[in-house]
């Protein structure tokens, strides 16, 4: 992905995958990284710590096994991964019907020191930025 496409908000943190295209399950973490990276690196938002989950439906019900999986481009897995500035924290942010682990820094939206207001949640907006917005049941329209 180019810096221009990232600046234009064209990258994505989550990518739907047809489960029939995935190697036999259970799939190991190194296989997840290789599969998701090969399929989506060009459209990902920077360096990724890939994870994979079954797409969920409203109310937490999972899709049928023959349906979609989601490859997720996480920025971090723990606070220690967030080193661009002091006070980096790794938090979960909603992106459509799943969550993405994102780095937040002091003074930024969603940082635990400030938090989101009551009735709001940390989410990723259409441009790939973290925002506090009204909590949406079932992860929004997706």
The per-residue pLDDT for range 100-115, each reduced to its tens digit, is 999 999 988 898 888 8
d(CA 51, CA 58): 21
Name the pLDDT band for 1 (thresholds 50, 70, 90): very low
Domains held by the chain: number: 1
**Containing structural domain, residue 81:** 3-139
Helix, coil or strand: residue 121: strand
The arithmetic mean of pLDDT across residues 28-47, rounded, is 83
Query: What's residue 96's pLDDT?
Result: 75
Which range has the worst mean pLDDT, 10-14, 54-58, 64-68, 133-137?
Answer: 64-68
Q: Which residue has the higher pLDDT, 7 or 15?
A: 15
**H-helix or E-strand spanning residue 4:** helix 3-7
Query: What's residue 16's pLDDT?
Result: 83
Q: Is it the case that residue 60 has pLDDT exceeding 80?
A: no
Q: What is the mean pLDDT of the chain?
A: 78
C-alpha 5: how far from its chain's center?
18
The arithmetic mean of pLDDT across residues 83-98, rounded, is 89
Let me know: does 122 contact 93? Beta carbons within 8 Å: yes
């Amino acid at each position: 992905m180019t810096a221009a496409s990232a600046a234009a908000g064209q990258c994505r943190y989550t990518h739907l995958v047809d489960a029939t295209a995935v190697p036999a399950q259970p799939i190991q973490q190194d296989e997840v990284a290789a599969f998701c990276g090969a399929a989506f690196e060009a459209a990902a938002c920077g360096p990724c710590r890939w994870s994979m989950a079954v797409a969920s439906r409203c109310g937490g019900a999972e899709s049928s096994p023959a349906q979609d999986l989601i490859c997720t481009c996480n920025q971090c897995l723990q606070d220690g991964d967030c080193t661009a500035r002091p006070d980096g924290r790794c938090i979960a942010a909603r992106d459509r019907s799943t969550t993405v682990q994102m780095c937040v820094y002091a003074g930024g939206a969603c940082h635990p020191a400030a938090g989101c207001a009551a009735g709001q949640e940390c989410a990723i907006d259409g441009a790939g930025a973290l925002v506090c917005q009204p909590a949406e049941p079932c992860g929004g329209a997706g």
